[in-house]
Amino acid sequence: MKAAQRKRPAVDLDRSVVARYIQLASLFRRRIEAGDWPVAEQTPTVDDLAAECGVARATIRKALDMLEGEGLIDRYRAKGTFVRQRPRQQLWCEVATDWSGLLANRDDALIEVLSDRRGTQPPDIPHPIGTLAPSYRQVTRLHTRHGKPFLFARLHIDERLSARISKRDLNSKTALKLVADIPGLKIKDARQTLIIGTADVETSSRLDMPLNAPVAMVQRSVVDRSGCLVFVGEGLYRGDMVRIDMKLR
């Protein structure tokens, strides 16, 4: 049975720098996820979607190509498009908002160290806390789950502390747990900022996602008891896999 056609507000695609077909793929993905397009049911036709969204049919087809590549829909000549399955929730990555959550390792996640450099300085200081260390160890890492990348991270750690970090820790611990577990280090302050943006060329390549697709950038800073900025980190999460849960008081 063809999915029920409901009156929807006009889709505004003109206020974003993200390509229209990527915006539409995100919209259609949310409809599948929310059950608006039920599993095993037929989706609206390309003509209907083009009229609703005010775009060319080729743009709709390109958006549907993305969903088909993700295994969410099946398309049949002369029969139409049908929902195959909902997005896999287990691939979502939770960005914690409390200290204990930030220290927890993610189940089934693997960490690959891509580069490890000495004698560097952070290119940007996201939080006005602490004073800079003389030099930092810069480590870039790629986090994957079930073979799919979901986080590209760049860490700057006070180089004077680097001898206390083992290779095993670099390949197994989350960024803040890596710092919190450094022997003898006493943490005085820590900050986290989340920014929603789009994937540049490097990020789209690292995370195997389209250029300009949504990403969540998390910036973190840690200061020790002496007031030194011992850690500055930046993590780029795939926007289609990140989830942020907050407890409201």
CATH of the domain at 172: 3.40.1410.10
Q: How many other C-beta atoms are found inside a 10 Å radius of the C-beta of residue 59? A: 20
Closest CA to 74 of 33, 42, 36, 35: 42
CA within 13 Å, CB half, 83: 23
Please determine, for residue 1, whether its predicted confidence score (pLDDT) is greater than 50: no
Pick from 14-18, 65-69, 76-80, 116-120: least confident:
14-18
Q: Is residue 249 part of a domain?
A: no
CATH of the domain at 76: 1.10.10.10
State how many domains the chain has: 2
Same domain, 48 and 149: no
What residue numbers bound the domain in which 220 lies? 90-243
Tokens of residue 116, six digits:
């490890």
Greater model confidence, 222 or 92: 222
Same domain, 35 and 149: no
Domain end, chosen from 87, 108, 125, is at 87
Contacts of 195 (CB under 8 A, 6+ apart): 216, 217, 218, 219
36-57: per-residue pLDDT in tens?
999 999 999 999 999 999 999 9
Same domain, 56 and 144: no
Q: Is residue 5 part of a domain?
A: no
Same domain, 176 and 108: yes
Same domain, 116 and 212: yes
Q: Is residue 12 part of a domain?
A: no
Tokens of residue 133, six digits:
């260390």
At residue 2 the predicted structure's pLDDT band, cuts being 50, 70 and 90, is very low
Q: Is residue 11 part of a domain?
A: no
The whole-model pTM stands at 0.71
